[in-house]
C-alpha cells in the first residue's frame, strides 16, 4: 500500500461515531500504561478533528484544541490496530502541523503515557519532544 492510497480530511458530522469509537478504544488501550487517566488540558476555542484512512474507510482519527495564539493540545491520535504501520498516524500529525502553521499557531503539545513507545515515537518523529515529566502516586 502506498502513501497515495491514504487520505486525511477534516471530520464531518457523519464521522462522529467513528471518532467516538476511536476515543473509547484509545482510552481502553491507554489503561494498560502507567499514568492512564491523566487529565488533558481543557478544550479551547480552536477545535480540529481529522479522520484518515484508505479508500473510503476511516481507520484513524486525531482531535486537537486550544488557542492558536498560545497553544494547541493534541487530545488523541488513534489508528485501529489492523491499520498500524502504514503511516496513518504520521499523516494525521503532519496534516495537523501544516494546518497549525497556516493558522499561525504558536505551540503544539501532546502527551504520551509511560510505556506507550509507539505514541512517543510518533510525536518525536514530528519534533514534539518531552518537556516535563509528571510524577505522582495514588494514596
Each of the 139 residues of the chain gets a pLDDT tens digit; together they read 455 699 999 999 999 999 999 999 998 988 888 766 666 667 788 999 999 999 989 999 999 999 878 899 999 999 999 999 999 999 999 999 999 999 999 999 998 888 889 999 999 999 998 877 777 777 8
Number of H helices, E strands in the chain: 3, 5
- Strands 57-67 and 71-79, sheet pairing: antiparallel
Q: With CA atoms as reference, report the closest residue to 11 among 53, 44, 43.
A: 53
Q: What is the pLDDT of residue 139?
A: 80
Whole-number Å distance between alpha carbons of 74 and 92 = 11
CATH 3.40.50.970, domain 3-125, yes or no: no
Instruction: Give the Cα separation of 24 and 20 in Å (integer).
Output: 6
Amino acid at each position: 500500500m502506498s502513501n497515495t492510497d491514504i487520505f486525511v480530511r477534516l471530520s464531518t458530522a457523519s464521522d462522529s461515531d467513528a471518532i467516538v469509537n476511536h476515543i473509547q478504544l484509545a482510552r481502553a488501550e491507554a489503561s494498560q500504561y502507567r499514568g492512564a487517566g491523566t487529565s488533558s488540558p481543557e478544550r479551547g476555542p480552536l477545535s480540529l478533528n481529522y479522520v484518515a484512512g484508505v479508500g473510503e474507510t476511516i481507520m484513524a482519527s486525531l482531535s486537537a484544541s486550544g488557542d492558536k495564539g498560545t497553544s494547541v493540545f493534541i487530545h488523541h491520535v488513534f489508528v485501529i490496530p489492523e491499520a498500524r504501520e502504514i503511516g496513518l498516524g504520521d499523516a494525521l500529525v503532519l496534516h495537523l502541523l501544516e494546518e497549525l502553521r497556516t493558522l499561525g499557531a504558536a505551540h503544539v503539545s501532546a502527551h504520551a503515557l509511560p510505556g506507550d513507545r509507539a505514541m512517543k515515537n510518533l510525536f518525536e518523529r514530528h519534533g514534539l519532544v518531552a518537556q516535563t515529566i509528571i510524577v505522582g502516586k495514588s494514596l
